[in-house]
Structures are given as structure tokens and as C-alpha cells.
Structure 1
Amino acid sequence: MGAKIRIGLVGASVSGTWSSRAHMPALKASEEFELTAVCTTKPESAEAVRKTFGAKQAFHDVNKMVTSNEIDAVAVVVRVPSHFAPAKTAIEAGKHVYCEWPLGKTTEEAEILTALAKKKDIVTAVGLQARACPEIQYMKGLVEDGYLGEVLSVHCHVVRDGVLTRPSHRTWQRDITLGANSLTILNGHTLDALQYVAGAIEKISAIVDTRVSNWLDTGRNETVTVTSPDHIFIQGQLCNGAPMTSHTAVIPFAGSGYRMAIYGDKGTLVIKGDDSVQLTKLSLFGAQGNNTLNEMVVPDSLNLVSAETPGGEAFNVGQMYSDFARSINEKNQYVPSFSTAVGLHNLIDKIQSASSKRAMISVQI
């Protein structure tokens, strides 16, 4: 193995955030990346993160970090409304960029970043890490190899609990215009995994609804108004002709977790977990020519991360970093790119359009 890729992470923190739970542990265990620098908004917090995770440098000015000659790649792990500026600055500095999903607050932001990245000829990755999950990859391979025969239909659902309350640092997600909500995140990851495994969606009808219009801010003990949707129902058709349905929701109590089933004329595949597809440990089951679903053993060759990589949320992110490194070193694309993100942003726009028009609309351009 050659020299490690030197990466700087924007949006670092010691605890309690997505970066501290997933990205930092994944990078600390990585065999391909060196966590060279971390960046927060304050010198004190940046230094605390540097010490906690063993980074070489701490920055509180994102422009200084991403333009440093000691950085090869940048990870953008701030809140969604703040993705655009650091990602754009890093691209303009010629750095390879891994940005969390959604890529931008809007489709327009995602398109601008994608065009700029193509112009600068850098490697990009977007945090659609369900694709890096070994069980999802194995399921995709089985479908492609004909395990199911002709795909007849696809059904997917993910239902999480906890919609009634939010801690103060997360109530900003109540505003649909900020781009981080159940439609973009929970539904976005779910549909990306569905299309990755079963094929692209051709046309859809949808219901996008906000059933709980107020949250309790648990830090301030006050009620806040919500415009972000919490229920997304989709039915449509894949490009291969198979009908599909998807139900994504956040409800008050006892969510039922994640499940995707693909039915073919030779068999059935079912994958499921206790939480969102990108976050949870998944189990894959198959039946071929009979009615008994048996759990399937996923090949060890699909595990790319080091043995030191923690399980849970950090695992799939670690898988993504391994493929991101491979993409950089081999100058090929092994991770979902910014172009992938633009496609998903456009699909979500079409879902909103189908819901408002109460009509079946074409997704493919």
C-alpha cells in the first residue's frame, strides 16, 4: 500500500454528532486515510477534536484548511444548509471531496457543485453509504446474476419513531426549505438503495404529507411549528417494467424499522433491519423455488474496512472511505459521486411534484 491520503474534515466534534459517531471513528481506523486536519468554528473545540481523534492539525477557518498543501481530500460533514460553501472552496482548491447527503440544500446547489467538480477533474463522493453495505451489495449481485429470474415487483418501507420531540440542536430540521428532513434523508437513502439494487425508477405518483405539525423542543420545553414532511408514500414503475412501492415515515411510537422485498418469477429476496437502511445492521433472506426464506451468508470479500472499524453507524461510512480511496488511487469511480447525488435530488423534486399535482409523472428525462 502506498502513502495514506491526507484528509481534512469540516464539521468535526468530540461527541453527539454524526461526524463524531460515524466519520471520525471510521477515519481513525482507516488503512487508506490519514486524518490530517479537523475544522470547527472555534479554536478551542477544534483543538479538543484534534486531541480526541489524533489529527495532526486543528483549524477554525475552513478556507485555510481546505487550501493547505498538506491536505489531499476534504470531508464535508456540517449541517446540510452549510454544505455548499466548504465543498465549493475545496473543489476550487483542487481537493477530492466527500460530502454528506444531501449534497446541497437545493438541487441547484448540487448541480453547481457537480459541474465545478467535473471542470476541476477531481474525485467526488456523496454520503449514500447504504450502497457500501455488504448485504446491499450482495443483494444487488444476486439480482444481477438472475437469482430472482424476472423481477415482478419491489416493495420497501422504513418507519422510525420519535416524531413528537427534538432536542434543541435538531429543531432546525423542522423547516423544509433547509433541505434536511424525512423526504430528503430517510426517504432519499431508502430510494437510493432501492434503485441501486433493483434498477432505476421510471415513473411515480406520491403523497408527501406532514402529519405532525408541531414538535416539542425538549431543551427549551416549547412547541415549534413544523413544515418538514413525515410521511412519504410512493408507487410507481421501474424502467424494467416492475411496479414498485415505498413507504417512508416517522411516527410517534414503536417504529417497525426497514424492509425491502424484491419478488421475481424464480424467487424472493428480503433485506431488513431495525433502523434506516444506511444506519442499521441488515440481514438478507432468500427463497428460490420454494416458500421458505432462509438467511443468506454474505461473502467476507465485501467487507473492505479494517478490523478496528467499529460496527454500527461508522461501518458503512468506513466502507465508503475505502471505496473513496480506491477511486482516488485508481482514478476511477467506485463510490456514489456528485452526479449520483444530482440524480437523487431530481428524483426527490419529482416526488414533491407528483404529490402536489396528484398525478403519475415521468422521472426519466
Structure 2
Amino acid sequence: MDTSDTTPSHSAEPGTPMGVGIVGLGAAAGSWARTAHLPALRAVDGYELRAVSAGSHESAMRSAEMHRVPRAFGSAAELAAADEVDLVVVAVKVPHHRELVKAALDAGKGVLCEWPLGNGLAEAEELADLASSRGLPNAVGLQARSNPALAYIRDLVADGYVGRVLSTTVVGTGQAWGAYTDPRNRYLLDPANGATLLTIPFGHTFDGVASVLGEPEELRVEQAQRRTSTVDRETGERVPMSSPDQVVASGCLPGGAVATFHYRGGSSRGTNFRWEINGTEGDIVVTAPTGHLQLAPISLWGARGDETEPAPLTVPGPYVGVPSLDPVSDSAAYSVAHAYRQFREDLRTGTSLVPDFAHGVRRHRSLEAPPAPEKR
């Protein structure tokens, strides 16, 4: 079937809910779809969760019953073909993104795919080209930039709070890729799966920083592998790790300010996330309990002029578009919900503030890095 002129059945008009089908919403606890996408969709007006799919019809039925979803399908292709589904959300492990996104696009449906878009740049380019050729709505899950705190920082910088930006420095940890792992995260240990310290926590945060300060020019990225194994917390087994656990990057922001980043695997007894923006007139400090800026509760601090110590900055109410979600108690869904809200607005008004597949390709390209040297 030629779907080049096919568009989703929804109109994105007020009062017309967009029917959503999620690939990856299982019954088991801990999945990103369950902790982030499910509460986000139920907190944002204009969406209606109508279908789920899983590896088998039986597991899909269990998930649908648990989460009170009307339809259950044993495959993503069946879900995408359902008339009541307008938007397919792909929230599974990275190696499966390509086949699942293609199935949705082939069915003429819009797609929101979690980040990374593909397992490497080539897959991302293929999916972006396909979505563009079909003229279908698409978004990639780089949610950090949708957090109200980042929108507020963006405006503070634009309004001259720090004066002329001189430099920005980011230090973060990735939680995984450290001393311990668990069965659900073992696939992160092999870089061939596309889910690495570079692509996930660093990639999400880098995209958020770029949304505030502009795209760093001539970014230089280096990786290193200092650990060659990790311990499974559940079994006590020591398992091999071939993925880098150190990422260092530097570049210049538009206008010449210096940007530096250092991401470390695991967790730190010291700093787990700190982002400083230093300017001629002031400073902004962003802290969080983890380097995953896309899901962490964010604290803001600032000082300018004669102030010598940073003081807490509160995000003004108008920036918060989904007040029913508490950014501290439900942090995993907070940025995701704001991304869904903006995506709906993009479809209704023709704006394009939520990152699409083309943006995802540019982000993949900016993160291209040489292989990590062998541990010495």
C-alpha cells in the first residue's frame, strides 16, 4: 500500500483526543513506558491510551488489564494497523526501534520514538527519511529540553541574567556502567546495542544544554573504558562490560563561550549532576541527584551582580504546563508529559518545538565519537 499521502486520522483539534498505542507497556514493573509514558499520557489533555502491544498476545492482555487499556495486540504491526490508533509510541530497547518505527510508518501512523532514535546514525537517517517521505507526524524522546526548568533557564539567559555567557560546565553520572548492574540493564553493557553512557544520559543532557545555550560548534568527544566488568546486584555474579564508562567532551558555543562535559559511569559519592553557566554578570547552577537530566528532579540556583552566593530559583507557574505532576515525586513522567503537551500543540498549530526525527539525526551525528581505547 502506498502511504506517501496518508496522514493519521486525528485532526489535533481541541476536543478531539488522539488515540495512542504503546509498544513496550508491559505488566512488569520498572519499564520506561510504565514509569514515564503511562502517567504522562494520563496527565495531559488531548490523548487517549487505546492499545498496547507486547511480545505475545497473552502478555499484552495482562498489560491491558493491569493498566485499563481497551485493546491488546500481540505485535506492533497489529497495533499500528488498528483504526483507533493515531499515534504509536515506541518505548522499548534501542535495537528494536528500527523495525517497530518502520511498522508504524508503513501503517500510515504518526510515531513518537524514544531516544536514541536508531541503533546508530545510519538507522536514524533511514527512519527520518521514511517519516519525511510519508509526511507523517514524528517525534523523538529527547525530553530534557521540555522540562519547565530548562525553559526558564533559557529565558533567563536570553534576558541577560548572566550577562554575556563565558563558559558552561557539566559533570554527571550515568547510574549504569558502574560497579553494579541488574538483569534488566545488562544489555547496556554492550555498546553494540546502541544504549551507552554517551547516547543516553550524556545525549539527553547535551541536547538539553544545547536547547538553552545553542549548539556547540566543533564538539570533540572522547570515551574511555576504565571498568571491564560489573556485578549483578540480584545474583552477585560478575559480568563483563565492554561499553565505555567515561565520556569527555568540549567545544565552543555560538558566540565563543567554552563548553565542557564529563560523564562517569555509576554513581559518585560527590557530585552526581552539576551544570554551571558562568557569565559576565551572574551565574546559574543546576543540580540533580543523577546525570539523567531527562528524568531527574532539577534544582536551580542563581546569583548576579553583587550577590556572592547562589540562592534558590523557583520556576514561575506559567512555565508549568502539567501541574498535576509533581517534578519531585513523579520525576520520570514530568519532562515526558511536557513533551506530549508540546507535541499536541505542535500538531495543532504547525509549530515544531518538540524534537522530530530530523533533529534526532542531527543529535546522533553530533555524538559520533571514536571507539574507546582499551583499558590499560
TM over 0.5: yes
Provide the TM-score with structure 2 as the length reference.
0.89
Match of 1:6 in 2: 19
C-alpha offsets along residues 169-191 of structure 1, whole Å, 9 cap, x if unaligned?
32111111110011110110121
C-alpha offsets along residues 262-294 of structure 1, whole Å, 9 cap, x if unaligned?
111111111111112111111111212122312
Match of 2:321 in 1: 304
Q: Is the 8 A contact 2:174 2:197 kept in 1?
A: no
Question: Hey, what's the Cα distance between the residues in 2 that align with 1:63 and 1:159?
Answer: 37
- Give, as a single letter, the amino acid of the residue that structure 2 aligns with 1:92: D
C-alpha offsets along residues 114-150 of structure 1, whole Å, 9 cap, x if unaligned?
1111111122111111111111110011112222221
Quickly say closer, same or farther: Cα 1:108–1:240, change in 2 above 3 A.
Answer: same
Question: Hey, what's the Cα distance between the residues in 2 that align with 1:57 and 1:115?
Answer: 30
Which of residues 209, 224, 230 in structure 1 aligns to 2:245? 230
Question: Hey, what's the Cα distance between the residues in 1 that align with 2:270 and 2:138?
Answer: 34
Give 1:282-361 correspondences, 5 Å limit: 282-290=298-306, 291-305=308-322, 307=324, 311-349=330-368, 351-352=369-370
- Give, as a single letter, the amino acid of the residue that structure 1 aligns with 2:370: Q
Query: Which one is further off, 330-339 or 316-325?
Result: 330-339
Match of 1:361 in 2: none
- Give, as a single letter, the amino acid of the residue that structure 1 aligns with 2:20: I
Match of 2:197 in 1: 182
- Match of 1:251, SS state, is coil
- Match of 2:370, SS state, is helix
Quickly say closer, same or farther: Cα 1:308–1:139, change in 2 above 3 A.
Answer: closer
1:29 aligned onto 2:48:
no
Question: Hey, what's the Cα distance between the residues in 1 that align with 2:37 and 2:225?
Answer: 31
Q: Is the 8 A contact 2:180 2:266 kept in 1?
A: no
Q: Is the 8 A contact 1:30 1:306 kept in 2?
A: no
- How much does 1:203 deviate? 1.6
Quickly say closer, same or farther: Cα 1:270–1:253, change in 2 above 3 A.
Answer: closer
Which of residues 293, 300, 308 in structure 2 aligns to 1:277? 293
Question: Hey, what's the Cα distance between the residues in 1 that align with 2:260 and 2:365?
Answer: 18
Question: Hey, what's the Cα distance between the residues in 1 that align with 2:270 and 2:245?
Answer: 13
C-alpha offsets along residues 210-256 of structure 1, whole Å, 9 cap, x if unaligned?
11111223455433221111111112212321111101111365362
- How much does 1:308 deviate? 5.8
Question: Hey, what's the Cα distance between the residues in 2 that align with 1:300 and 1:46?
Answer: 39
- Match of 2:277, SS state, is strand
Q: Is the 8 A contact 1:167 1:219 kept in 2?
A: yes
Question: Hey, what's the Cα distance between the residues in 1 that align with 2:235 and 2:224?
Answer: 26
1:75 aligned onto 2:93:
no
C-alpha offsets along residues 62-100 of structure 1, whole Å, 9 cap, x if unaligned?
111112111111100010110111111112222111100
Question: Hey, what's the Cα distance between the residues in 2 that align with 1:327 and 1:41?
Answer: 32
Match of 1:143 in 2: 157
Question: Hey, what's the Cα distance between the residues in 2 that align with 1:159 and 1:318?
Answer: 24
Quickly say closer, same or farther: Cα 1:311–1:39, change in 2 above 3 A.
Answer: same
- How much does 1:328 deviate? 2.1
Unaligned runs of 5+ in 1: 357-365
Query: Which one is further off, 338-347 or 220-229?
Result: 220-229
Superposition CA RMSD, Å: 1.8
Q: Is the 8 A contact 1:166 1:217 kept in 2?
A: yes
- Match of 1:352, SS state, is coil
Question: Hey, what's the Cα distance between the residues in 2 that align with 1:303 and 1:176?
Answer: 36
Question: Hey, what's the Cα distance between the residues in 2 that align with 1:285 and 1:222?
Answer: 42
Quickly say closer, same or farther: Cα 1:112–1:241, change in 2 above 3 A.
Answer: same
- Match of 1:158, SS state, is strand
- Match of 1:83, SS state, is helix
Query: Which one is further off, 301-310 or 181-190?
Result: 301-310
Match of 2:112 in 1: 98
Query: Which one is further off, 45-54 or 192-201?
Result: 45-54
Give 1:165-204 correspondences, 5 Å limit: 165-204=180-219
- How much does 1:159 deviate? 2.1
Q: Is the 8 A contact 2:173 2:267 kept in 1?
A: no
Quickly say closer, same or farther: Cα 1:126–1:256, change in 2 above 3 A.
Answer: same
Quickly say closer, same or farther: Cα 1:219–1:207, change in 2 above 3 A.
Answer: same
Which of residues 180, 205, 209 in structure 1 aligns to 2:224? 209
Question: Hey, what's the Cα distance between the residues in 2 that align with 1:177 and 1:304?
Answer: 38
Q: Is the 8 A contact 2:198 2:247 kept in 1?
A: yes
Match of 1:112 in 2: 126
State the aligned residue count.
354
- How much does 1:306 deviate? 5.4
Question: Hey, what's the Cα distance between the residues in 1 that align with 2:318 and 2:267?
Answer: 39
